[in-house]
Amino acid sequence: MSKDFSNFEGIKSYIYDHYFCCKCCYHYFHTCSNCNYKRFIKKQLKSFNLFDRFIYVLIIVNVFAMVLESHLSLRVAYGTYFHAFEFISILIFSAEYIYRVYHAFVTEGKKGVANYVFSLFGLIDLISILPFYLNQFMKLDGRFLRILRLFRLTRIFKLGRNSNSLRVFTKSLAGVKAELIFTLFLSVLTILFSASAIYYLENDAQPDKFSSITESIWWATVSLATVGYGDVYPVTVGGKLFATLISLVGIGVVAIPTGVISASFVEEIRIEKENRSKQNN
């Protein structure tokens, strides 16, 4: 069975499976007197924990630096320091990415590398460093470069690599994938119907606001999402009545996926607690 080396839990599981000599050691380090590796493994796991904590702190500091750099006065005064810190961070994140690829290759060969590189956190690791290298080796348009620099923010998602709560939430989403796809399809149909209806109701009164069905999609979307920015709104009696109905329907459209995800998340938490209870017993 393939192992997932994109996070600390996957590496730890591999260490457990290959170095502990009995099942009791899988849960308790001190219960097996025949295990010659238990001190070595405890030291290895401690090293992994320290490295992960260092990466977490670096990610958080990177996000703060990105926020501070957006201020013109700070960018002018400390631009050199921001660039130096970014360069050092890129080197560390690049080394981490290369190490994870190497570790996956050593343990499972090309299959392990493919599993990591195309995993969620493997893609996040790559995207978080890719803009820097693209900027160094390619001439990019300023607007495109600003968009790429926004991808630096994906580094914050690396914080969820070892999060058990994120893993449970991901499993809960995967468990109701079909239901979520259906609610998305239902939402698209409702938006299209609302845009069409409001176009025919409001076009004569507001040809500049509701000039076409595609232009009306913006109003339909914000109305169904119960946001209602107020930049576009109906003025006819029929349009107002229809907008009232759509606002009520929008509550239901938002509530359906929320309820589906919440129920699945609660179920996954229950299963997780049961599994943890069985392991402790």
What percent of the chain has a predicted confidence (pLDDT) above 90? 5
What's the predicted TM-score (pTM) here?
0.55
Instruction: Render pLDDT for 98-154 as a digit per residue (tens, 0 to 9).
Output: 988 888 888 888 888 888 888 877 888 888 888 788 777 776 555 555 556 666 666
What's the length of the chain? 281
pLDDT of residue 281: 65
Distance CA 3, CA 195 (A): 48
Nearest to 186 by CA among 260, 238, 237, 121: 260
CATH 1.20.120.350 positions along the chain are 8-162
Cβ-based neighbours of 261, under 8 Å, separated by 6 or more: 172, 173, 176, 180
Residue 14 has pLDDT above 70, yes or no: no
Give me the numbers of helices (H) and strands (E) for the chain, helices first please. 10, 0
Q: Where in the chain is the domain with CATH 1.10.287.70?
A: 177-280
Q: Considering only residues 170 and 227, tell me which one the structure prediction assigns the higher pLDDT.
A: 170
Among 1.10.287.70, 3.90.1150.10, 3.30.565.10, 1.10.10.60, name the CATH number for the domain at 177-280: 1.10.287.70
- pLDDT for 39 beyond 60: no
Rounded Cα–Cα distance for residues 35 and 280 (Å): 21
CATH tag for 8-162 (out of 1.20.120.350, 3.20.20.60, 3.40.50.970, 2.60.40.420): 1.20.120.350
Condensed to tens digits (0 to 9), the pLDDT of residues 61-107 reads 888 888 888 888 888 898 899 889 988 988 998 988 898 888 888 88
Mean pLDDT, the chain, whole residue set:
76
Q: Which residue has the tokens 């589906």?
A: 260
Residue whose tokens read 């893993």: 167
In this prediction, residue 155 carries a pLDDT of 66
